[in-house]
Amino acid sequence: MALRRTLALAPEPASARLGRRAATSLMAEVGARPDLVDAVVLVVSELVTNAVRHAPGSVELLLEADATTASVGVRDTSAARPQLVDAYDGGGRGMLVVTALAVRWHVEEVPGGKVVWAHLRAA
Ligand SMILES: Nc1ncnc2c1ncn2[C@@H]1O[C@H](COP(=O)(O)OP(=O)(O)OP(=O)(O)O)[C@@H](O)[C@H]1O
Ligand SMILES: [Mg+2]
């Protein structure tokens, strides 16, 4: 059965750790496979860090998971979209990690900003 969790986060670096902790706990509740847990925690870390670094306001983490699939959504207050940067140049690693780990990611426009969604599946 899929479980959902929503977590309001402050626009500060410590929010990435709170997001990772929430993801770890939800994935344990659904009995997710270890490879999926690792991937979800990494994606949460990168997307929350991006929301804190690249958008001005508060952040919301949206999680939905069952044992073999997970969706991670991170809402922020900027309309600008994540960019896939071709060559690593002191940055641009985060979305490459998300692209490698997720089946797909996309941006949902919402009032006052956006949600960056990543959908993952156990290998
Ligand atoms: N939530 C976001 N809101 C606005 N722009 C974003 C957001 N996330 C990413 N971006 C843009 O996309 C670029 C690429 O993001 P990415 O996470 O790959 O690299 P980075 O955050 O710059 O560096 P790092 O390698 O530490 O993650 C960012 O530099 C930024 O311009
Ligand atoms: Mg980043």
The residue among 56, 63, 53, 59 whose CA lies nearest residue 75 is: 59
Q: CA 10, 15, 21, 22 torsion: positive or negative?
A: positive
For the chain, state the CA radius of gyration: 13
**Per-residue pLDDT tens digits for 16-57:** 999 999 999 999 999 999 999 999 999 999 999 999 999 999
**Per-residue pLDDT tens digits for 86-117:** 766 678 899 999 999 999 999 999 999 999 99
For residue 36 the two structure tokens come to 């999926």
What's the CATH architecture for 3-121?
Answer: 2-Layer Sandwich (3.30)
Which ligand 1 atom sits closest to the C-alpha of 90?
25
Centroid of ligand 1 to alpha carbon of 83 (angstroms): 6
Which residues have CB atoms below 5 A from the ion given as ligand 2? 50, 94
Structural domain boundaries in the chain: 3-121
The residue among 58, 73, 84 whose CA lies nearest residue 108 is: 73
Residue with CA at minimum distance from ligand 1 atom 8:
82
